[in-house]
Structure 1
């Protein structure tokens, strides 16, 4: 049996309790543990920076997870590479990023070395092909930077809805929102909107606000004002489904985001938490960083220095949720009535 290389961690995180049970029955867990792996609690684990310690500054991770944005797994100063389970397992054995072929090559080389050493012990002269003199087994392992090897199969886990949602509603029929524009680009993911390392450690919404966008724009949390408007490119809010990506922005005073497009899950989380997602590519192209922006909710217009730009009206059901301040406030009102 091959073992995890010295100085390397191999973390095995089953996606669910069902996956863990199946792996136990198949004998996989016994094999992993015997090889020196560490078993984590089933769930997202390393994928969201909630496991057996986040990576250190400068540490290299190779993972079977599906995202490697900056700050993934809890530390923006770590490097995250994605690979197949076979490559991750091979890398854990090698102590560097490599393939199954590399493992076999090293194993074959080690056998040659062991044979050579045995012959030397018998006072036999051995000339190893391509080598001048003796080579130790450690030489054959081709020393390289140490990495953290993570074998994970993360499941999507939505945090429980907050019972402390902001109470203010947008009042789509009569109100307008005016504030400075905070401009960002395409594919801004939920890991940089609200870092995964805080997902299960910060519960207070005011504290969430202090960490909003900190891995993308460290100046945002300290300088954002109530009713400022985020202006973004395509696919805002891609990545994981964490609700805190919306809650932290609401708590920071953001009530409207204008974007070329939204990731589907973020769009729905925004509506459910009373934050208006406006799809208006023309306005995004025209708005400059820091300029005043007004979103006329009743007219479905984004107004900026370059002019007025219409956006599609919301469906009645979505409008009702936003008018109530979010899905939970709407349900509570319905229950009381």
Structure 2
């Protein structure tokens, strides 16, 4: 039996736990918080300064004095630690900056869920949390579970008016936001050669929205040309490798789609929502802020004007792209059309920086997430689409097909989009010690802890997290959660951003366990690092009814609901030791 990409790069079979030293450890604005965690671990000098890549991007330039002070402290840290791969505010978004360093066969980790973007360069690239990043600063290596793999075979070529963003959303719409949970996605087939590196970056960027650990493309002639070399020493799967899931897509059969509010898996044909009135548009982010994205938008908007009372924000992904766009005349065309050009940064994508939408606004964006409250206002709605669809829609002030037609396409899928987006005010979901969120699939980190608080409230300050915990989902949670409480939740618990604040807050509150149908990969790792047990036992969730008595016995591997017992594999001793130490910080400090 042949080996998958993941098996080859880690040198071990699927399911094995291996320790490895990543080639690059990426952090960004969260470096300020990571530094404090690292110091709690006893850190004084980073293990390998050449391993670290630090960018200032999520709030660049800083919008208040606290963020400005954080930026200042990060600059000092980078200088004192001899970190040469440091990029200051304005240089660009971390994942675009990473593209200037990533090479085939590398192992790359980052304290951001979209670190998977570097898979476009034939690298194993995966997101981790802040605490694990701090551990890497101290020891230089971390553990990896060799993931199961999914093979997606592409044939044909995208039609005019259809883009890589449509392909990405198409896949998410077909498999759901947990359809590739913890998996390594490999892109195969002759259709791959028809995708540029920029397009591949869009596709690998959105692996996180599929639940995947990583996504990767081969080191082919397209990558070789991009890197300016004739020879590529990449890593790729054997022809007879085993895959747990396979999918085939003819690129010529794809039509323009959007992800409708409030989930990336709520995919519709653009024809199905055409005419939806809009107030704001965003072109940029780590998903679609590259030169070809800006070129496409500028060509569409050239000589035209955006709709009356409409706001169009354009955010180049890096200073290099910004300057190229100026030289090519793209920025002038966009500004003449009425667009506002922001500094190279994450912009309003996660609800920080400039461009937060007003109450009742409907936004169309090239970003990667549209959870409720994602852009900083839970009273706004977000559609995700390609740069072309966003540009056309900005002209008309309503969702518009980039093909210039009124189509009758319909996106067909078996994915059931979760209906419990938030708990209505005044509805009590706690009985005894149990919080009943069993009907809530895709409970995401944006609702657990708002993105616009991520850098004003550090994850290294648990008491400061508590008043904001779950506020975007259940307003009663923060005031009523107690030690030894148990949370019962649905599928894909903790999906979304890699921010560790929710896990930190739940562990600090003393939550005994989260019992769920499935869990997001990064959230699971984050929970382990904080000493918060996550038990994936779907049978228990399906059998739970509000008011049932629930208890957990970790030593015996048992969940008891009333008189019925559900088994789970007893936790390994090393894992129990982390839980008993109340998290990785204490465990490493005492090791």
- State if a TM-score over 0.5 links the two structures: yes
Q: Which residue pairs with 1:181 in the alignment?
A: 434
Contact kept? 1:324, 1:330, Cα under 8 Å: yes
Shift of 1:13: 2.8
Inter-partner Cα distance in structure 2 for 1:17 and 1:290: 56
Q: Which residue pairs with 2:49 in the alignment?
A: none
Q: Which residue pairs with 1:329 in the alignment?
A: 586
Cα distance change, pair 22–234 in 1 and its aligned pair in 2 (3 A):
farther
Pairwise mapping of residues 87-236 of structure 1 onto structure 2 (< 5 A)?
87-100=389-402, 180-184=433-437, 185-203=440-458, 204-236=461-493
Cα distance change, pair 43–262 in 1 and its aligned pair in 2 (3 A):
farther
CA radius of gyration, larger in: 1
Q: Which residue pairs with 2:383 in the alignment?
A: 81
Q: Which residue pairs with 2:516 in the alignment?
A: 259
Correspondent of 2:546 among 264, 269, 289: 289
Inter-partner Cα distance in structure 2 for 1:271 and 1:18: 39
Gaps of 5+ in 1: 106-178
Q: Which residue pairs with 2:368 in the alignment?
A: 66
Contact kept? 2:527, 2:534, Cα under 8 Å: yes
Pairwise mapping of residues 311-330 of structure 1 onto structure 2 (< 5 A)?
311-330=568-587
Inter-partner Cα distance in structure 2 for 1:324 and 1:9: 50
Q: Which residue pairs with 1:54 in the alignment?
A: 356
Gaps of 5+ in 2: 1-302, 407-431
Inter-partner Cα distance in structure 1 for 2:512 and 2:325: 45
Correspondent of 2:534 among 269, 272, 277: 277
Inter-partner Cα distance in structure 1 for 2:310 and 2:401: 16
Q: TM-score when scaled to structure 2? A: 0.41
Q: Deviations over 1:65-114 (max 9, x none)?
A: 12222222121211111111101011222222223455x99xxxxxxxxx
Inter-partner Cα distance in structure 1 for 2:550 and 2:328: 59
Q: Which residue pairs with 1:108 in the alignment?
A: none
- Relative contact order: is structure 1 or structure 2 higher (C-alpha 8 Å, sep ≥ 6)? 1
Inter-partner Cα distance in structure 2 for 1:322 and 1:59: 43
Shift of 1:46: 2.2
Q: Is 281-290 or 63-72 further displaced after alignment?
A: 281-290
Contact kept? 2:370, 2:384, Cα under 8 Å: yes
Q: Secondary structure at the match of 2:576?
A: helix
Inter-partner Cα distance in structure 2 for 1:39 and 1:319: 50
Q: TM-score when scaled to structure 1? A: 0.69
Q: Secondary structure at the match of 1:10?
A: strand
Q: How many aligned residue pairs are there?
A: 260
Cα distance change, pair 89–329 in 1 and its aligned pair in 2 (3 A):
same
Inter-partner Cα distance in structure 2 for 1:247 and 1:22: 42
Inter-partner Cα distance in structure 2 for 1:205 and 1:63: 33
Inter-partner Cα distance in structure 2 for 1:190 and 1:227: 22
Shift of 1:267: 0.6
Cα distance change, pair 276–28 in 1 and its aligned pair in 2 (3 A):
farther
Q: Which residue pairs with 1:3 in the alignment?
A: 305
Q: Secondary structure at the match of 1:207?
A: helix
